[in-house]
Amino acid sequence: MTSTDPHTLTGAYSMDALPEAERREFERHLARCESCAVEVRELTATAERLALAAAAPPPSQLRRQVLREIAEVRQEPPPVSRTRRLGSRLRPGARALPMFALAASLAAALFGGVAVWQYESAQDARQHAEQREERAETLARVLSAPDARVRSGALPEGGTASVVVSRDADRAAFFAADLPRAPEGKVYQLWFSEGGTMRPAGLLSAAERGATVLMDGPVRDASAMGLTVEPDGGSPQPTSEPLTLLRLTGASGQA
């Protein structure tokens, strides 16, 4: 009944019982769902009570060790917004219009909906912020590359899939308009087709469904890219027929 509702994940999330990928996806949902955020706050406070009940004295040397160590460790500055940097790095007038539109939607998708949740550990937060920023910069580079080429194709249930390839950057970006939500327990997965085999190129989380995403890994000699529906967590090899297969050959500017 409620199994498709991300709300039911509040309990598992509050107890850190979500696998990494699902946790990130839920955090994106959380950033937009006020009632979930309230419930997570209450349930996290409840989990805290479970923690207090498990109290046990630490080894006596721990206090000394910790106090000695923190005297040497620099504290972090309070968090600051990183949204402005990306905008200034997108070169205006770089290429043709579609890429511009894609770049704009990318900036909105990457930064608009993503909030670093309190409960993400600070270390995670640092890493994720750096990874996000790196991906954003790579994606911006692909979209504005002089040799970028767009390929589009219709999806079986309506909507359009597009891929932007830069052979110079050796990376590709994917965008699907009006892609339906993946069935419960399933996820969209991207692939590069190379020499007759499919190489995994990342998952499309629910939140990324309408966004431009950087495909994982280099393009190398891939002749096409595909989109399939896979069981949650993705697959090493496609287990279903691709919804679309976009040819990348001929996209190379100088081959």
Partner 1 sequence: MRESARAARTAQPGPGLDGLLERVARGDQEAFAAVYDIVAEPLFGLVRGVLRDPAQSEEVAQEVLVEVWRSAPRFRPERGSAMSWVMTLAHRRAVDRVRSAQAASDREHRAALLDQAPAFDDVTEQVEARLEREQVRRCMRTLTEVQRQSITLAYYRGLTYREVAELLTLPLGTVKTRLRDGLIRLRDCLGVSA
> Residues near 248 by Cβ (< 8 Å), separated by ≥ 6?
151, 163, 165, 172, 219, 222, 223, 224, 225
| Shortest CB 50 distance to partner 1, Å | 5
Nearer to partner 1, 3 or 197 (CB): 3
> Residues near 203 by Cβ (< 8 Å), separated by ≥ 6?
21, 187, 188, 189, 190, 230, 234
| Shortest CB 135 distance to partner 1, Å | 22
Nearer to partner 1, 55 or 96 (CB): 55
Nearer to partner 1, 21 or 229 (CB): 21
| Shortest CB 130 distance to partner 1, Å | 15
Give the CA dihedral 151, 154, 159, 161, nearest 10 degrees.
-30
| Shortest CB 123 distance to partner 1, Å | 7
Q: 7: burial class by Cβ within 10 Å (0-12, 13-18, 19+)?
A: middle
Q: What are the residues binding partner 1 (CB under 8 A)? A: 2-3, 8-12, 14-19, 41-59, 62-63, 65-67, 69-71, 73-79, 118-119, 121-125, 185
Instruction: Reduce the DSSP state of residue 109 to 3 states and report it.
Output: helix
Phi-psi region of 196 (alpha: psi -120 to 50; beta: other; left: phi over 0): left
Nearer to partner 1, 6 or 180 (CB): 6
| Shortest CB 55 distance to partner 1, Å | 4
Tokens of 133: 């920023």
Nearer to partner 1, 113 or 159 (CB): 113
Nearer to partner 1, 52 or 97 (CB): 52
| Shortest CB 13 distance to partner 1, Å | 9
Closest CA to 209 of 25, 23, 8: 25
